[in-house]
Amino acid sequence: MQVQDNKQLEELYRLTMPQVARLVARLNGRPDTARDILHDAIIIYLEKQQNNTLPELKAASAYIIGIARVLCVRQFKQQISSIPLEWASEQVIPEDYFEPPPEQPVMEYLKTAGKKCMDLLKAFYYESRSISDITSIFHFRTLHSASVQKYKCLEKVRNHIKQTDYEERIG
């Protein structure tokens, strides 16, 4: 739908406002926030319409709701990440809170699994190599055997972490 006059714009606003208000309410937002987000979404829609960059198959209301959803999520993520330090320092720490064990670098845990495991896990997780690449690099016969070896290496690391954590708690 191409918005060409105020009547169409009002109809579009009337159709989309309840959905945007529900979306904002689900994220504990206020009605004025919903209104602001909808206004921004409509402005973005109208700019795209003017520039002829709108997708052809979408209804205007669906497109505006989609834009509003993106704007809403961005705004609420930004609000969450900007909690004042004063608020955080006023929070009471429960008496049964245990301080986490001192962190050991991941590489230290990987080293305990052995060089081949460390290289295999590094190739898979850090270098983002596929299992088929790993099969050929490490000379496994099948994809399944490479996958099983990767799992065994992870288990070695997990078991070492569990053991270290257990020893620190009782020690």
Contact 135, 144 (CB under 8 A): no
List CB contacts of 135: < 8 A, sequence separation 6 or more. Answer: 142, 143, 145, 146
pLDDT at 88 over 70: no
**Which tens digits make up the pLDDT trace of 101-160?**
556 667 777 788 889 998 998 898 889 999 999 999 999 999 999 999 999 999 998 888
Looking at residue 148, its pLDDT comes to 94
Whether the per-residue pLDDT at 73 is higher than 90: the answer is no
pTM score: 0.46
| Alpha-carbon gap, residue 60 to 54, rounded angstroms | 9
Domain ranges in the chain are 6-90, 106-170
CA 145 to chain centre: 32
CATH, domain range 106-170: 1.10.10
Question: Residue 89: pLDDT above 60?
Answer: no
Q: E strand or H helix at 60, and its extent?
A: helix 60-81
Task: Give the position of tokens 């205007």.
Answer: 60
When comparing pLDDT for 132 and 84, which is higher?
A: 132
| pLDDT > 90 in the chain, percent | 20
Q: What is the pLDDT of residues 52-67, one digit of tens each?
A: 887 776 788 888 888 8
Alpha-carbon Rg for the chain, nearest whole angstrom, is 27
- At 51, which helix (H) or strand (E)? none
What contacts 158, CB < 8 A, 6 or more positions away? none
Kindly report, residue by residue over 33-46, the tens digit of the pLDDT.
Answer: 889 999 998 888 88
Does the pLDDT value for residue 76 go beyond 90?
A: no
Please give the structure tokens belonging to residue 25.
């309410």
Once rounded to an integer, what is the mean pLDDT over residues 14-26?
89
Which residue, among 53, 68, 76, has the nearest Cα to 12 in the 3D structure?
68
Nearest one of 59, 22, 55 to 37, comparing CA atoms? 22
